[in-house]
Amino acid sequence: MTAKVEALGYVGLEVSDLAAWRDFAAGQLGLQWAPRDDGTVDIRLDSHAIRIRIHEGPRDDLAYAGWEVRDAGALEELHDRLAAKGIAVERASADAADRRVLDLIRFPDPEGNVHEAYYGPLQRTDRPFVSPTGARFKTGAQGLGHIVLACRDKAVMLGFFQDVLGFRISDHIRTEVIPGRPLEISFLRCNGRHHSLALAPVPIPKKIVHLMVETTSIDEVGRAMHRCMAAGTHLSFTLGRHSNDNMLSFYPLSPSGFDIEYGWGGLEVEDESWHVLTHESNSAWGHIFQRPPRPSKPASN
Ligand SMILES: [Fe+2]
């Protein structure tokens, strides 16, 4: 397969509380908050003009995932493959300037999540990335990080991402992330990052389970965790080290009710030599699930 996606380039999030997100993303996680004239916000992690696009709205969920391809030829080839498979792919060149890319296409996966593929992301080396906390993030050829999507029929979703978009399976984890709920999560890569996408058959009301960003320093993970704790942000999973990609991370609950995984030390995979593995534990240590606090009851008269 010559034309395939090569990185998670950006994600669009629809969030209901912009002010809370600003405090969370910039103040606690150290991401750069860059408001736009149209009321949306770009969150930057590196030289790319956009890595996370924040839209104000009621859904508090993933709006779209943007996948980077190499060039115009790869985008055209991917478009034609999607169309040949009967997938409702649309040319979305009119939105390219808004996404700060040269061209893009838009298409659904088998469960209706919106995806975009694009090439030519705008680089802002003239306005360098500045973290409000001094954090730096591992991106480059490995892209923004990874997303975990909730799914109903994992076999169908795995087929789509492998056969149509060119992902390869790194491994599967058969475990109980939450005690009493066994499940198998599958991890897929499109570059040297162990996974840019994972599929979790979990019955949750949101499309996204979590978005992972990776720092370049273990100290940044510790500092961010303590900023979250000081701010009273709930940690859905405590500090831990994942069994499969070695990521040392913790999971603060975002103001939209899905998690951010904030990590360091993720495994790089050699595509030519990697063999599919399985695990029976989500983590080598830590990552203890903590139930979210119950909403406080209204005071009775
Ligand atoms: Fe993750």
At 53, the amino acid letter reads R
- Ligand 1 centre and the CA of 300: distance in Å? 41
Of 119, 149, 165, the domain-final residue: 119
Average pLDDT over residues 218-232: 98
Average pLDDT over residues 253-269: 98
Average pLDDT over residues 260-276: 97
pLDDT band at 1 (very low <50, low <70, confident <90, very high): low
pLDDT at 295 over 90: no
pLDDT at 289 over 80: yes
Note whether residue 125 is domain-resident: no
Note whether residue 298 is domain-resident: no
- For residue 32, the enclosing domain spans 7-119
- Ligand 1 centre and the CA of 261: distance in Å? 6
How many other C-beta atoms lie within 10 A of the C-beta of residue 26?
18
Note whether residue 134 is domain-resident: no
- Ligand 1 centre and the CA of 169: distance in Å? 15
- Residue 136 near residue 219 (C-beta atoms within 8 A): no
Note whether residue 131 is domain-resident: no
Tell me, yes or no, whether 111 and 157 share the same domain: no
Tell me, yes or no, whether 224 and 264 share the same domain: yes
Note whether residue 230 is domain-resident: yes
pLDDT at 292 over 90: no
Average pLDDT over residues 51-62: 98
Tokens found for residue 135 = 């954090």
pLDDT at 301 over 60: no
Tell me, yes or no, whether 113 and 144 share the same domain: no
Tell me, yes or no, whether 109 and 164 share the same domain: no
- Ligand 1 centre and the CA of 150: distance in Å? 12
- Ligand 1 centre and the CA of 227: distance in Å? 20
Tell me, yes or no, whether 41 and 83 share the same domain: yes
Of 62, 86, 119, the domain-final residue: 119
- Ligand 1 centre and the CA of 83: distance in Å? 31
Tell me, yes or no, whether 267 and 148 share the same domain: yes
Tell me, yes or no, whether 66 and 179 share the same domain: no
Tell me, yes or no, whether 114 and 161 share the same domain: no
pLDDT band at 197 (very low <50, low <70, confident <90, very high): very high
pLDDT at 298 over 90: no
Average pLDDT over residues 196-216: 97
| Gyration radius (Cα) of the chain, Å | 19
Note whether residue 151 is domain-resident: yes
- Ligand 1 centre and the CA of 212: distance in Å? 5
Average pLDDT over residues 59-66: 98
CB neighbour list of residue 192: distance below 8 Å, 6 or more residues apart:
141, 142, 268, 269, 270, 271
Note whether residue 130 is domain-resident: no
- Ligand 1 centre and the CA of 94: distance in Å? 33
User: Mean pLDDT lowest for which of 7-11, 173-177, 229-233, 237-241?
Assistant: 173-177
- Ligand 1 centre and the CA of 63: distance in Å? 19
Tell me, yes or no, whether 17 and 48 share the same domain: yes
- Ligand 1 centre and the CA of 211: distance in Å? 7
- Ligand 1 centre and the CA of 263: distance in Å? 9
What is the per-residue pLDDT for 180?
Answer: 82
Tell me, yes or no, whether 153 and 270 share the same domain: yes
Residue range 18-30, pLDDT digits in tens: 999 999 999 999 9
Tell me, yes or no, whether 164 and 264 share the same domain: yes
Centroid of chain to Cα 259: 10
Among candidate residues 100, 109, 119, 90, the one with its CA nearest the CA of residue 151: 109
Number of domains in the chain: 2
- Ligand 1 centre and the CA of 299: distance in Å? 38
Percent of all residues in the chain with a pLDDT value above 70, rounded to a whole number = 97
Q: What's the rounded Cα separation, in Å, for the pair 188 and 197?
A: 5
pLDDT at 299 over 90: no
CATH at 190 = 3.10.180.10
Tokens found for residue 244 = 């499969």
Residue range 63-82, pLDDT digits in tens: 999 999 999 999 999 999 99
Residue in this structure with the two tokens 């720092």, named with its chain if needed: 215
Tell me, yes or no, whether 37 and 92 share the same domain: yes
Note whether residue 33 is domain-resident: yes
- Ligand 1 centre and the CA of 210: distance in Å? 7
